[in-house]
Each structure stands twice: as structure tokens, then as C-alpha cells.
Amino acid sequence: MPSPFPGMNPYLENSALWSEVHNLLIVAIFDALNPQLRPKYRATIEQRVYQTTGEDSLLVGIPDVAVQRQQKTTKPETANVAVTSPPVQAVTVTIPTPGTVRESYLEVREVTTREVVTVIEVLSPKNKRAGEGRKAYERKRQRVLGSFTNLVEIDLLRDGKPMPILHNDIQSDYRILVSRGERRPKADLYAFNLQNIIPSFPLPLRSEDVEPLVELQTLVSEIYNRASYDLVIDYSPEPVPALSEADAVWADALLREKGLR
């Protein structure tokens, strides 16, 4: 059963599904591009690894349970008797321990020189909220933008803080940024909303090369079908994160029309 939404399915943004969707989309782009890139280029799947202490973890020293103060016990009417206080009991606490996070992304390399020509990033929730995940990605983003390497940044998440774009007042649910190394600081921004079909975009390569078209909507729709998400998504409640009031009304009418509510 196909996705009921014409563009991005907001139910796929749920954290319970997004990690899988993210990985499947990376592989789908990889599979779609390589036949079009050969023989000059080849796409590879890479991983960014960083340590995180869990931005949502409890602070060191906050116990899981409340501890009542121990009271000294003395025997009444007994003088000159030494009384030993009970020993302090240890309690269980939770501390933020480092964890390893691995985020996949794509690189398009020239076969003969192995030089990275284009980096393709599909943003994750950690990239869009404060913490080490965003810091790690911003450092990577700055390195790419400070070079002649092309950058494609795909943001299919409504939640979180979008990546910075100068002098941009466009408000949208989703974004695709295509930044060609030779055109910086100018870049192409595809801004679209829930009701829109996900736009296709040309993959930037060397200036003399024909740029293959990335049909992202087709890839997302195929992922929905192959992964059988229609069997696991309950369309009765609102999606997480929640929609705006106007989008919620539109989505409700759409889902009722398709018999999913």
C-alpha cells in the first residue's frame, strides 16, 4: 500500500522509525546514483563517528530515589553511653556516560583521483538540536563549505533548528540545499511543505559534467513500500512531532478520504 501523503510522510519522522528511514534513504540514494555516475565517479557510504554524553541525561549526583535523613537513636535514661550512628547508605544515581554515535552520509568521489567531489547529507534529529550531534555536523559542514567540494543537504525533519542560511526569511517544513563549490556563497534552496511533492534536484559534479537528477520523492515512496510501513504506522493519532493547526486539518481530511481514520 503506498504512502497516503503526496510528499513527505510526517509519520516517518517519528523517532521510532526515523533511524531506519535515514539508513534506507542513504542506501536508496547510493543505489540510484552509482549507475548514473560511472565510469568517472562512484558514490560511497561513509560514517561520521562522535562521542556524546546524552544531552537529555540526568546530571551527576541526582539520585533515582529520595533519601530520608537518618535519625540517631538513643536509649532514654541512659547516661555516659556511646551511641554509634548508622553508616551512610549508598544510593543509586545515574550519570551521563559517553556513548558512540554513528551517522551515515554519502560521498561522490572521482574514480581516478579518489578526490571527494560532492558530499550528500541526510540530516538526523541530533544534527538539528543543541548538543554534540549538532556541533559535530556543523564542524563537518564548515569544512565542506570552506572547500571546493559540493554539498547537498537534505532536511526531511520538521522538528529542530534548521541549518543556518544567510539572509533567508523563507519558512518551510522541509529543505534541500544544493551548494556548488564554485558558486559559493550562493546556493540553491528547495524549500517545500507537507502538502508539496518532494522536489527533484540535480546532483552537482564537476562543472563540465552532466548532472544526474535525484528524484527524491520516488526514492522515499519506494522506501515506504519496500519497508511495509503501512503495516506498522497507525494513522489514527496525530504524528510525532505534531503538525501545525492548518496542516493537521489538511492531513485529517486526507487520511479520512483514504479510509485511514
pLDDT tens-digit series, residues 5-24:
999 999 999 999 999 999 99
Positions in the chain whose pLDDT score sits under 70: 53-84, 96
Largest CA distance in the chain: 100
Give CA–CA dist 230/5, Å, rounded. Answer: 12
| Residue 182 is assigned to a structural domain of this protein | yes
Total-model pTM = 0.82
63 found inside a domain: no
Q: Which of 228, 244, 166, 251 is nearest to 2 (CA)?
A: 228
Assigned domain for 87 exists: no
Q: Is residue 145 part of a domain?
A: yes
First to last CA, the chain: 15
Q: Which amino acid is at 187?
A: A
Asked if residue 242 is part of any domain, the answer here is yes
What domain count does the chain have? 1
pLDDT of residue 94: 77
Q: Which domain holds residue 50?
A: 10-54+97-257
Residue 3 domain flag: no
Question: Which uninterrupted H or E stretch holds 201?
Answer: strand 201-202
Q: What is the pLDDT of residue 62?
A: 26
pLDDT tens digits, residue range 110-152? 999 999 999 999 999 999 998 888 998 999 999 999 999 999 9
CA 54 to chain centre: 15
